[in-house]
């Protein structure tokens, strides 16, 4: 059997290992952490369990596909529910809105709370679906860097519909043209943050994202987000994939422009027929291939946003909140300028609160809630993070107190914090960015590295820093694209 090494047991690494094991390859996964999942992990503290990274789950079919491919019944391994309410939105002026899963109900709620026309919302969601379908068959399931993708029938259909894809407008320009109410513009602009981008710069093409939440659905794994990692690990182990934890790879071995194996931190050399790096692509080149030619232009692209996350054990319950909650800033444009131009965090940041104990009560002690509070933050460029975090913590606590009309700080029973530095340290993602390169210009899709190296034979890439992008669904798609490239 041909032997393949995967560097990193992030979700992209695990998924590609499963796909290759199904093709008959002998797969070994090298992971520097003592646990799998990379960003998709969880921890427990004083009776509170937290999903440490991703909290929003869309396209569960991409997870199920891996079980089906392996001849298993997905439901025996992994179960989830569809959310009836997707997100609770709050503004400083007292406006609140619950984004319902059913498009009709969602549009009714928006019309009721903001006066925006119901039909406009429904048209927007339909257009979002149309764009998604054009792009999905074309770029999200195929390599952007193979001629076959560009001359396919789907590509031709894409070219014919180019103006409709929104490449020539920013997301904000398109949304301001469509909606009259600034709150509705803000609500839909927020989807740019799903891949760490700036709605005032990213192309309107990203208006495909609401389609996933409203037309396809937002979901919650019954055992928490960590069950995506846990259930896939169970499957991977059943398929005979070998996982080596606490085993950092220090070098990819190259002879005559061909990858032949790797060397671990302990100095051990191992020979493989091919290597898939699930390590951030910039770090793969800089740290594991120091003597090779680097695609500098791609590697030096500005990074997506990172985040400051407060994991709070809260000794109270808030019935007005749901699983996903957004407390919007009053000046959205300023928030992104502060992040992407000034590399800092606004004094009034939008606050995202995820409370998994709403659906999974055993995630918190009785009468309490586990709050995952995320504030978008710039990628790490050596800022004075301790200062930024202290200030942001105060700003966030006052915002929550204002909006929920309580003296909130007294309910914080325990606290852990994740920030761009620690994200970088724990997963070696470049500058702690959550989604690799940013998509803050219309060529962004072309400024991501391919799923293979065109310079070194037998070297492949998977995960959030390469094509098609970050976030669980795109990482799972990248695993599919990469596995299909390996014959
Ligand atoms: P990563 O998770 O980046 O893992 C890479 C792995 O490689 C790590 O385990 C690392 O230890 C290992 N590794 C690196 N270098 C080496 C080496 N030299 N040797 C051995 N092992 C190595 N996505 C969503 O879909 N929805 C969300 O709601 C969402 N929210 C997020 C919130 C936060 C706080 C974070 C951090 C991320 C969020 N994301 C979300 C993004 C999502 O988590 C990532 O896009 C995805 O998990 C990245 O997976 P990956 O395959 O790229 O690997």
The reported pLDDT for the residue numbered 160 is 63
Distance 21 CA to ligand 1 centre (A): 21
Q: Are residues 108 and 20 in the same domain?
A: no
DSSP string of 319-387? TT--SEEEE--S-HHHHHHHHHTSSS--SS--EEEE-GGGT-GGGS-TT-EEEEEEEEEPPPSS--HHH
Q: Are residues 115 and 167 in the same domain?
A: yes
Ligand 1 atom, smallest distance to 472 CA: 25
Answer whether residue 370 is part of any domain: no
Answer whether residue 61 is part of any domain: yes
Q: Is the CB of 307 under 6 A from ligand 1?
A: yes
Q: Is the CB of 423 under 6 A from ligand 1?
A: yes
Which residue owns the Cα nearest ligand 1 atom 24?
471
Which of 187, 216, 245 is at the close of a domain?
216
Counting other chains too, the contacts that 248-256 makes at CB distance below 8 Å and 24 or more residues apart are 248/30, 248/32, 249/7, 249/30, 249/32, 249/279, 249/288, 250/287, 250/288, 251/288, 251/289, 252/7, 252/277, 252/284, 252/288, 252/289, 252/459, 254/289, 254/291, 254/292, 254/456
The reported pLDDT for the residue numbered 131 is 87
The reported pLDDT for the residue numbered 149 is 67
Q: Is the CB of 219 under 6 A from ligand 1?
A: no
The reported pLDDT for the residue numbered 442 is 72
Ligand 1 atom, smallest distance to 249 CA: 19
Q: Is the CB of 340 under 6 A from ligand 1?
A: no
The tally of domains found in the chain comes to: 2
Q: Is the CB of 464 under 6 A from ligand 1?
A: yes
What Å distances lie between residue 107 and 84, 125, 171, 197, CA to CA?
Answer: 14, 10, 20, 25
Which residue owns the Cα nearest ligand 1 atom 51?
12
CATH of residue 263: 3.50.50.60
Q: Are residues 199 and 231 in the same domain?
A: no
Q: Please state whether beta strands 3-7 and 274-277 pair in parallel, antiparallel, or not at all (unpaired).
A: parallel
The reported pLDDT for the residue numbered 166 is 72
Task: Specify whether the CB–CB gap between 37 and 10 falls below 8 A.
Answer: yes
Q: Are residues 228 and 280 in the same domain?
A: yes
Q: Is the CB of 221 under 6 A from ligand 1?
A: no
Q: Is the CB of 463 under 6 A from ligand 1?
A: yes
| Residue from 54, 229, 265 whose mutation best tests the ligand 1 pocket (most atoms within 8 A of CB) | 54
What distance in Å separates the CA atoms of residue 430 and residue 342, rounded to the nearest whole number?
Answer: 19
Q: Is the CB of 54 under 6 A from ligand 1?
A: yes
Q: Are residues 212 and 234 in the same domain?
A: no
Q: Are residues 106 and 198 in the same domain?
A: yes
Q: Is the CB of 226 under 6 A from ligand 1?
A: no
Q: Are residues 212 and 242 in the same domain?
A: no
Answer whether residue 187 is part of any domain: yes
| Residue from 6, 278, 324 whose mutation best tests the ligand 1 pocket (most atoms within 8 A of CB) | 278
Contacts of 309 (CB under 8 A, 6+ apart): 52, 372, 373, 374, 375, 417, 418, 419
DSSP 432: G
Answer whether residue 290 is part of any domain: yes
Contacts of 65 (CB under 8 A, 6+ apart): none
What distance in Å separates the CA atoms of residue 12 and residue 467, rounded to the nearest whole number?
Answer: 11
The reported pLDDT for the residue numbered 156 is 65
Q: Are residues 139 and 207 in the same domain?
A: yes
Answer whether residue 16 is part of any domain: yes
Ligand 1 atom, smallest distance to 464 CA: 52
**Residues lower than pLDDT 50 in the chain:** none
Task: Specify whether the CB–CB gap between 447 and 338 falls below 8 A.
Answer: no
Q: Are residues 199 and 106 in the same domain?
A: yes
Answer whether residue 408 is part of any domain: no
What distance in Å separates the CA atoms of residue 309 and residue 50, rounded to the nearest whole number?
Answer: 11
DSSP string of 59-103? -THHHHHHHHHTT--GGGT--EEE-SEEEEEE-TTS-EEEEESSH
Q: Are residues 109 and 205 in the same domain?
A: yes
Which residue range forms the structural domain that includes residue 152? 102-216
Which residue owns the Cα nearest ligand 1 atom 23?
471
Q: Is the CB of 244 under 6 A from ligand 1?
A: no
List, for residues 335-390, the tens digit of each pLDDT value.
999 999 999 999 999 999 999 999 999 999 999 999 999 999 999 999 999 999 99
Q: Are residues 168 and 244 in the same domain?
A: no
The reported pLDDT for the residue numbered 262 is 98
């Amino acid at each position: 059997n041909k032997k393949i090494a995967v560097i990193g047991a992030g979700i992209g690494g695990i998924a590609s290992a499963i796909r290759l094991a199904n093709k008959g390859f002998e797969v070994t996964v090298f992971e520097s952490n003592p646990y799998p999942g990379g960003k998709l992990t969880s921890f427990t503290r004083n009776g509170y369990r937290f999903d440490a990274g991703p909290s929003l789950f869309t396209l569960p079919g991409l997870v199920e596909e891996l079980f089906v491919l392996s001849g298993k019944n997905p439901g025996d391994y992994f179960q989830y529910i569809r959310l009836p309410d997707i997100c609770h939105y709050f503004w400083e002026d007292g406006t609140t809105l619950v984004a319902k899963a059913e498009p009709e109900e969602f549009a009714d709620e928006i019309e009721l709370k903001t006066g925006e026309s119901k039909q406009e919302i429904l048209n927007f969601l339909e257009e979002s679906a149309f764009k998604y379908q054009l792009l999905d068959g074309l770029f999200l399931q195929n390599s952007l860097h193979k001629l076959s993708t560009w001359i396919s029938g789907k590509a031709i259909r894409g070219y014919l519909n180019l103006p409709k894809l929104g490449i020539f407008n920013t997301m904000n320009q398109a949304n301001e043209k469509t909606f009259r109410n600034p709150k509705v513009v803000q609500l839909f602009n927020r989807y740019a943050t799903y891949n760490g981008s700036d709605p005032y710069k990213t192309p309107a093409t990203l208006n495909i994202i609401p389609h996933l939440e409203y037309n396809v659905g937002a979901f919650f794994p019954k055992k928490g987000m960590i069950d995506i990692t846990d259930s896939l690990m169970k499957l991977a182990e059943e398929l005979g994939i070998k996982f080596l934890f606490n085993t950092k790879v220090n070098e990819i071995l190259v002879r005559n422009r061909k990858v032949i194996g790797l060397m671990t931190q302990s100095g051990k050399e191992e020979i493989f027929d091919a290597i898939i790096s699930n390590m951030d692509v910039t770090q793969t080149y800089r740290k594991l291939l120091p003597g090779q030619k680097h695609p500098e232009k791609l590697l030096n692209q500005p990074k997506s946003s990172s985040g400051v996350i407060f994991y709070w054990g809260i000794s109270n319950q808030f019935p007005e909140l749901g699983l996903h909650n957004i407390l919007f800033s009053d000046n959205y444009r300023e928030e992104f300028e502060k992040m992407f131009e000034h590399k800092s965090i606004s004094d009034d940041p939008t606050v995202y609160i995820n409370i998994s104990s709403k659906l999974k009560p055993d995630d918190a002690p009785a009468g309490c809630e586990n709050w995952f509070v995320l504030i978008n933050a710039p990628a790490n460029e050596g800022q004075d993070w301790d200062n930024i975090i202290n200030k942001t913590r105060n700003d966030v606590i006052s915002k929550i107190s204002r909006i929920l009309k309580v003296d909130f700080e007294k309910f914080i029973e325990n606290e852990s914090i994740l920030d761009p530095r620690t994200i970088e340290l724990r997963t070696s993602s470049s500058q702690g960015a959550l989604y690799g390169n940013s998509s803050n210009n219309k060529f962004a899709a072309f400024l991501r590295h391919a799923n293979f190296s065109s310079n070194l034979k037998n070297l492949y890439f998977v995960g959030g820093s390469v094509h098609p992008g970050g976030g669980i669904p795109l990482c799972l798609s990248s695993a599919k694209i990469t596995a299909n490239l390996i014959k």
